[in-house]
A and B are shown apart, each in its own frame.
Chain A
């Protein structure tokens, strides 16, 4: 079956630090990959996505590249801000209109 593995958290960084959050997956077929973010007190929001190998998703300074050879979709940002403090979920979907399979999520706290 499908599964998503995220690195253990929580992660605490200082403002302007470099961020990497690891995500690897196991899937049948050719999944689409997603990063969702949940800010404190808010609902899940799509941060970025990639639908095929070597695609790079980007949004709000975050980037992730779909690596088929390593089955990974690591999230990166060059300079984090306090406002990036949130819970980040990696997810995949196989097939149109099918369910998302999520990783366990990781809490990021950014200190001023």
Chain B
């Protein structure tokens, strides 16, 4: 079946511009996660959705970052007034229960470069 998809695959933007990153989870997966992978920081958790609500936003690095999920499916991560340190690969994952233990399935990521 179809996996997690993300768009765009690459995004180049100028410092100060806003960007939107999209994630389409696996159909039927109720949990959705955003992570960021950067050279200096490794893989960092950003935010977790269960359905349309976000019980854990603890990883969002600043108030320039926000995310929403609609219809329990697609999610959008928005970065306002981008900075060069926002350059990273943004990964989305979705999950279901697998014999009592959750497995998170990752998308291919969006590579963001802020000039």
Residues on A lying within 8 angstroms of B by beta carbon are: 32, 36, 42-46, 49, 51, 89, 91, 93, 96-105
Q: Mark B69-82, 1 if CB is under 8 A from A, else 0.
A: 00000000000000
* B23 adjacent to chain A (CB < 8 Å): no
When the two chains form their complex, are residues A97 and B91 in contact, meaning their CB atoms are under 8 A apart?
no
Say yes or no: B42 contacts A105, CB within 8 Å.
Answer: yes
Pairs A–B under 8 Å by Cβ, sample size 25: A32-B102, A36-B106, A43-B91, A43-B107, A43-B109, A44-B93, A44-B106, A45-B106, A46-B104, A49-B101, A49-B103, A51-B100, A89-B43, A97-B48, A97-B50, A98-B56, A99-B48, A100-B33, A100-B45, A101-B45, A102-B43, A102-B44, A103-B42, A105-B42, A105-B43
The docked-state distance in angstroms from the alpha carbon of A103 to that of B43 is 8
Q: Which residues of B are in contact with A by a Cβ distance under 8 Å?
A: 31, 33, 35, 42-45, 48, 50, 56, 59, 91, 93, 95, 97, 100-109
Using A49-B101, A100-B104 as known contacts, list a sample of 8 further A-B pairs with CB atoms less than 8 Å apart, ordered by residue number in A. Answer: A43-B109, A46-B104, A46-B105, A91-B43, A96-B102, A97-B102, A99-B33, A102-B44
Closest to A99 in B: B45
Most B CB contacts (10 A, CB to CB) among A42, A49, A96 go to A96
CA distance A36 to B107 in the complex (A): 13
Would A42 and B104 be within 8 Å (CB), given that A98-B48, A99-B56 are in contact? no
Residue of A nearest to B47 (CB): A99
Q: Which residues of B contact A46 (CB under 8 A)?
A: 103-105
Q: How far is the CA of A15 from the CA of B32 in the complex (A)?
A: 38
Chain B residue nearest to A46 (CB atoms) is B103
